[in-house]
Amino acid sequence: MFNFKAIVKILGFLLIVEGIFMLISMLVALLYHGSDVLPLLNSALITLGVGGLAVATMFKAEKRFSKNDGFIIVSLVWIVFSLFGSLPYLLSNSIPRLSDAFFETMSGFTTTGSSVLNDIEALPHGILFWRSLTQWLGGMGIIVLSLAILPVFGIGGMQLFAAEVPGPVPDKLNPRIQQTAKNLWAIYVLFTVVESLLLWAGGMSFFDAINHSFTTMATGGYSTKQASVAYWDSPFIQYVIIFFMVIAGTNFTLSYSALTGKFDKVYKNEEFKYYILFIVIFTAIIFSGLLLTTQLGYEQAFRDTLFQVVSIITTTGYATADYLTWTPFLMVLIFTLFFFGGSAGSTGGGIKIMRIVLLLKNSYYELRRLLHPNAIIPVRFNKRSVSEQIITNVLAFFMIYLMIFFVSTTLFTLIDPDLNSAMGAVATSLGNIGPGLGNYGPAENFSQVPAVGKWFLSFLMLLGRLELFTVLVLFSPAFWKK
């Protein structure tokens, strides 16, 4: 059956890690003589205490666990982390209500970036640092999840990466996952440090630079300013963030290949080519539209366009311009990007470029098969034939994603009757993007959503972040049978 003792032990270890990072946030609060030192300390002690108790109680638990145990652990990690991660907000009274604090924390750990805060600058430094840190930790977890754990689950075509990245084998975790995680995290930390230094050199304070590098590399989008990145009217800062958003939305194994001198793996990678192509196409169309419909200069229009396209397709969610003020045609193009997402194996959310490419290719080849019914025309990805099972998985993922979007939008209209707002809130939560449409656009937030709506959107964030099936399988009666 299930190895619940091992599950509790692993969750305990992870809570200890979370508690340590709360202590780091407390040190930041001490550095700035903030009023949040005690709340962060108490939060850390509670988290460390519960985590330590879980480890001590289940210390002798068997280390081996099954694939089904993995589904439970992956889902519970984000829920438990979000519950304990809410403590700093609640104890400091920065966000006094549990529904709001949980929403903000789940939005952080899932790297969504939607917020309930109306005055971000009023928060003390330690809380702001913890807020950004939730996204950075969430992004770090997603890298390992997508490249080392989901492939063995067979989630929506992620098996394609099973052969490329050392990871789990059926029914037990391969010890090499530890080395894989170390390599990927080293790259993640390196990019974070480099971006921090560049943003600091560009005019941000050191504190703001660190926070924005955290949330850029996580494709999270939390900012230390209410106006987001638009607060800094600096082309240098915005282009630096654009560059690192593109990197964060790229498969991290490609980044590893590039840093180790294997550049051919990067420019030969089919997903990366389409990823850049989609950015170029959408940027060109929207840029032309802005020139025709606004009074913006060439550079400003190009920068605003490129920033928003990259921000949305990578699901980062930063804002330098309010796309809701653009023409309906341009706004629809931006909303279309809500359903793209970054590359598989990146910190980005959404459907993922890999799946979009496989869907387009399969649709094209279906037309060819109609014309040549006796021909064998396999779908190829990175010059390798893709199995029918993977194509079926991808199609199933896409259909269930759309079904959840339509059903959830219908349900959310009971909370907010404005259809545009409901569509935007659901799409941005499911795709882990941040800003939405209507009442929840780049210039607004989610503070006005009732508590039941925040719990519902938090669930959608978790669902989207964990690739749907990882969570949905837990609702299947067959999953719990021996």
Separation between Cα atoms, residue 179 and residue 291, nearest integer Å:
49
Q: Which residues lie closer than 8 Å to 390 by C-beta, 6 or more apart?
A: 157, 159, 160, 358
More confidently predicted of 346 and 242: 242
Task: Determine whether the annotation assigns residue 315 to a binding site.
Answer: yes
Q: How many CB atoms lie within 10 A of CB 215?
A: 30
Query: What integer pLDDT is reported at residue 469 of this predicted model?
Result: 85
Query: What integer pLDDT is reported at residue 62 of this predicted model?
Result: 64
Q: Give the mean model confidence (pLDDT) for residues 231-258.
A: 93
Query: What integer pLDDT is reported at residue 482 of this predicted model?
Result: 62
* Angle at the Cα of 447 from the Cα atoms of 444 and 448, rounded to 5 degrees: 90
Task: Determine whether the annotation assigns residue 294 to a binding site.
Answer: no
Separation between Cα atoms, residue 293 and residue 278, nearest integer Å:
22
| pLDDT at residue 312 greater than cutoff 70 | yes
Q: What is the pTM of this model?
A: 0.90
| pLDDT at residue 145 greater than cutoff 70 | no
Query: Which residue shows structure tokens 């003390």?
Result: 124
Give residue 319's region: left, alpha or beta (phi > 0; psi -120 to 50).
beta
| pLDDT at residue 135 greater than cutoff 60 | yes
Dihedral angle sign, alpha carbons of residues 109, 114, 115, 119? positive
Task: Determine whether the annotation assigns residue 111 to a binding site.
Answer: yes
Query: What integer pLDDT is reported at residue 174 of this predicted model?
Result: 40
Query: What integer pLDDT is reported at residue 250 of this predicted model?
Result: 93
Percent of the chain with pLDDT over 90: 63
Query: What integer pLDDT is reported at residue 146 of this predicted model?
Result: 53
Query: What integer pLDDT is reported at residue 82 of this predicted model?
Result: 95
Task: Determine whether the annotation assigns residue 316 to a binding site.
Answer: yes
Separation between Cα atoms, residue 193 and residue 213, nearest integer Å:
8
Query: What integer pLDDT is reported at residue 159 of this predicted model?
Result: 45
Of 10, 99, 101, give the one whose Cα is nearest residue 54.
Answer: 10
pLDDT bracket for residue 89 (50, 70, 90): very high
- Please report how many Cα atoms fall inside a 13 Å half-sphere around the Cα of residue 355, on the Cβ side: 25
Task: Determine whether the annotation assigns residue 336 to a binding site.
Answer: no
The pair phi, psi for residue 14, each rounded to 5°, is: -70, -35
Separation between Cα atoms, residue 141 and residue 43, nearest integer Å:
21
The β-bridge partners of 169 are 172
Query: What integer pLDDT is reported at residue 68 of this predicted model?
Result: 77
Query: What integer pLDDT is reported at residue 168 of this predicted model?
Result: 26
Local structure of 381: helix, strand or coil: strand
Residue 456 to residues 214, 401, 409, Cα–Cα distance (Å): 26, 16, 11
Query: What integer pLDDT is reported at residue 178 of this predicted model?
Result: 63
Give residue 97's region: left, alpha or beta (phi > 0; psi -120 to 50).
beta
Identify the H or E element spanning 258: helix 252-259
Query: What integer pLDDT is reported at residue 66 of this predicted model?
Result: 72
Which range has the worst mean pLDDT, 7-21, 147-161, 309-323? Answer: 147-161
* 91, 94, 98, 101 alpha-carbon torsion, rounded to 10°: -110
| pLDDT at residue 64 greater than cutoff 70 | no
Mean pLDDT of the chain: 88
Dump the DSSP string for 286-333: HHHHHHHHS---HHHHHHHHHHHHHHHHTT----SS-GGGS-HHHHHH
Query: What integer pLDDT is reported at residue 165 of this predicted model?
Result: 36
Query: Which residue shows structure tokens 């519902």?
Result: 456
| pLDDT at residue 167 greater than cutoff 60 | no
Separation between Cα atoms, residue 458 and residue 472, nearest integer Å:
15
Percent of the chain with pLDDT over 70: 90
* Angle at the Cα of 347 from the Cα atoms of 475 and 133, rounded to 5 degrees: 95
Local structure of 338: helix, strand or coil: coil
Separation between Cα atoms, residue 212 and residue 206, nearest integer Å:
10
| pLDDT at residue 154 greater than cutoff 60 | no
Dihedral angle sign, alpha carbons of residues 54, 58, 64, 68? negative
Residue 38 to residues 26, 28, 35, 49, 133, Cα–Cα distance (Å): 8, 12, 7, 16, 18
Structure-token pair, residue 268: 């030969």
More confidently predicted of 204 and 55: 204
Separation between Cα atoms, residue 14 and residue 82, nearest integer Å:
12
Residue 326 to residues 53, 206, 261, 333, Cα–Cα distance (Å): 54, 34, 42, 11
Separation between Cα atoms, residue 40 and residue 26, nearest integer Å:
5
| pLDDT at residue 245 greater than cutoff 80 | yes
Q: Give the mean model confidence (pLDDT) for residues 257-263.
A: 87
More confidently predicted of 261 and 302: 302
Q: Give the mean model confidence (pLDDT) for residues 173-193.
A: 75
Separation between Cα atoms, residue 143 and residue 347, nearest integer Å:
6
pLDDT bracket for residue 171 (50, 70, 90): very low
Q: Give the mean model confidence (pLDDT) for residues 439-464.
A: 95
Which residue type is seen at 359? L
